Amino acid sequence: MSVLVLGGAGYIGSHAVYQLIDQGENVVVIDSLETGHKQAVHPNATFYEGDIRNIDFLRGVFQKESIASVVHFAANSLVGESMEDPLKYFDNNVYGTQVLLRVMVEHDVKSIVFSSTAATYGEPEAVPITETMPTNPANAYGETKLTMEKLMKWTEQAHGIKYVSLRYFNVAGARETGEIGEDHRPETHLVPIILQAALGQRSHITIFGEDYDTADGTCVRDYVHVEDLIQAHLLALDYLNGGGKSDIFNLGSNQGFSVKEMIDTARQVTGKEIPVMPGDRRAGDPSVLIASSEKAKNILGWQPARTSITKIMEDAWHWHVARPNGYVEGADNK
Ligand code: UFG
């Protein structure tokens, strides 16, 4: 039997595939390679290139492979792009998940671990954010993820497919052994942008707003190491296979760091100057997002071990130094 990882060539999905294979699982990967990278797919995984909205393609994979459970990362995930082209996001994310669930029903596959986001909450009423707080997405991306959660809820009622939805806060870092890491094109995330500036690939990093109601005026986020994050997925699979009920969990480190603190950490880790420029606020950015992950710790037994921001930055830096152009040699990765 195999675990099917959808989006296994992406940043977070590829780390899941590596850890599943470390654990001795047989892994089947599906990725459209629209944003993923073929080189990020573990050489021992069985890889199918294709789009999950194509039901015949998906049925073909489920017919050929013996799938025990599913881990679903395949989605578009850029907040800004989702505001410009919400229909692309509903089509790929929501409709894609609808097709996936249809094929899971047909093949009697009963468990799915699902990649969700803190963006389902919108601007929080208070921090740390717990799973019982209201969901009110401030962008189309977050709305699609919330809708995908609801698709799973109703599919469970009708067909008994159990799900765990994991709401990520700010994922960063890279696999410690350095084979895989973060490579988005275009890059919009803070940590890789800071490190590209440290490498001299960018002249500077622009700070999006210095007038927030925070200690130093810049936005505060909860950064979680990608390897810790993936361990929660493996625990969630065990939990579902052990008869656990469908549920939703936040994944963060329960601590907030400002944009300026992240840049200072990167200066210490890299020994580089990292020039900064002040910029305007970015539309839709909440000032402070910090997770409570007590529920994941209590119910799944999650024990994040890499919560130091220095450790997260060091692992990301090793990846960027080893692969300054990411997976595509000579390409512009800005
Ligand atoms: N930032 C800058 N300059 C940059 C890039 C980012 O100042 O060049 C700031 C942002 O304004 C924000 C912080 O750095 O305050 C983190 O920004 P990211 O883009 O790295 O991450 P976000 O917090 O915007 O987004 C993350 C995930 C999204 C998810 C969202 C949920 O990447 O997928 O959290 O709120 F939707």
**Residue to mutate, 73, 136, 213, 221, ligand 1, most ligand atoms under 8 Å from C-beta:** 221
Residue 19: what pLDDT?
98
Residue 30, token pair as written in the block: 């599906």
Looking at every residue in the chain, the average pLDDT score rounds to 96
- Asked whether the beta carbons of 269 and 317 are under 8 A apart, the reply is yes
- Tell whether the torsion through CA atoms of 142, 139, 281 and 211 is positive or negative: negative
Reply yes or no on whether the pLDDT at 217 is more than 80.
yes
Reply yes or no on whether the pLDDT at 333 is more than 60.
no
Q: Which protein residue's CA is at the shortest distance from atom 15 of ligand 1?
A: 219
Lowest-confidence pick of 135-149, 231-245, 318-332: 318-332
The residue behind tokens 């990967």 is 29
Per-residue pLDDT of 221-237, as tens digits, reads 999 999 999 999 999 99
190: CA distance to ligand 1 center in Å? 6
Beta bridge partners of 27: 3
Q: Which protein residue's CA is at the shortest distance from atom 20 of ligand 1?
A: 189
Index of the ligand 1 atom closest to the CA of residue 139: 36
Q: What is the mean pLDDT of residues 46-70?
A: 98
Beta bridge partners of 277: 206
Which residue blocks in the chain are alpha helix, DSSP H? 11-22, 55-64, 79-84, 86-89, 96-106, 140-159, 190-198, 226-241, 259-270, 294-295, 309-322
The residue behind tokens 């710790």 is 297
Return the number of other C-beta atoms located less than 10 Å from residue 199's C-beta: 16
Beta bridge partners of 49: 31
Residue 281, token pair as written in the block: 């606020």
Q: Which residues contact 288 (CB under 8 A, 6 or more apart)?
A: 124, 127, 212, 214, 219, 220, 256
Q: Give 330's pLDDT tier (boundaries 50, 70, 90).
A: low
Single out the residue of 96, 29, 28 nearest to residue 66, CA to CA: 28
Rounded-to-integer distance, Cα 309 and Cα 193, Å: 16
Reply yes or no on whether the pLDDT at 292 is more than 70.
yes
Residue 275, token pair as written in the block: 């020039």
57: CA distance to ligand 1 center in Å? 34
Q: Which protein residue's CA is at the shortest distance from atom 16 of ligand 1?
A: 190
**Residue to mutate, 190, 194, 313, ligand 1, most ligand atoms under 8 Å from C-beta:** 190
Lowest-confidence pick of 82-91, 248-257, 322-331: 322-331
- Asked whether the beta carbons of 266 and 311 are under 8 A apart, the reply is no
Strands 220-221 and 257-258: antiparallel
- Asked whether the beta carbons of 38 and 61 are under 8 A apart, the reply is no
79: CA distance to ligand 1 center in Å? 9
Residue 284: what pLDDT?
82
Q: Give 314's pLDDT tier (boundaries 50, 70, 90).
A: very high
Q: Which residues line ligand 1 (CB under 6 A)?
A: 77, 79, 117-119, 141, 170, 188-190, 193, 205-208, 219, 221, 259, 282, 285, 289
Q: Give 331's pLDDT tier (boundaries 50, 70, 90).
A: low
169: CA distance to ligand 1 center in Å? 10
Which residue blocks in 242-308 are alpha helix, DSSP H? 259-270, 294-295
Q: What is the mean pLDDT of residues 239-259?
A: 97
Is the pTM higher than 0.95? The answer reads yes
- Asked whether the beta carbons of 26 and 2 are under 8 A apart, the reply is yes
The residue behind tokens 């799900």 is 163
Per-residue pLDDT of 130-147, as tens digits, reads 999 999 999 999 999 999
Rama region for 116: left / alpha / beta (φ>0; ψ in -120 to 50; rest): beta
Which of 64-85 are b and which e, b meaning 16 or more Cβ less than 10 Å from the residue's Cβ?
A: ebebbbbbbbbbbbbbebbeee
Q: Which protein residue's CA is at the shortest distance from atom 1 of ligand 1?
A: 190
188: CA distance to ligand 1 center in Å? 7
Residue 283: what pLDDT?
85
Q: What is the mean pLDDT of residues 174-192?
A: 94
Index of the ligand 1 atom closest to the CA of residue 218: 15
Reply yes or no on whether the pLDDT at 332 is more than 80.
no
263: CA distance to ligand 1 center in Å? 13
- The distance in angstroms from the start CA to the end CA of the chain is 40
Task: Compute φ and ψ for 254, nearest 5 degrees.
Answer: 60, 25
**Residue to mutate, 121, 195, 208, ligand 1, most ligand atoms under 8 Å from C-beta:** 208
Q: Annotated catalytic sites, by residue?
A: 141
Rounded-to-integer distance, Cα 254 and Cα 252, Å: 6
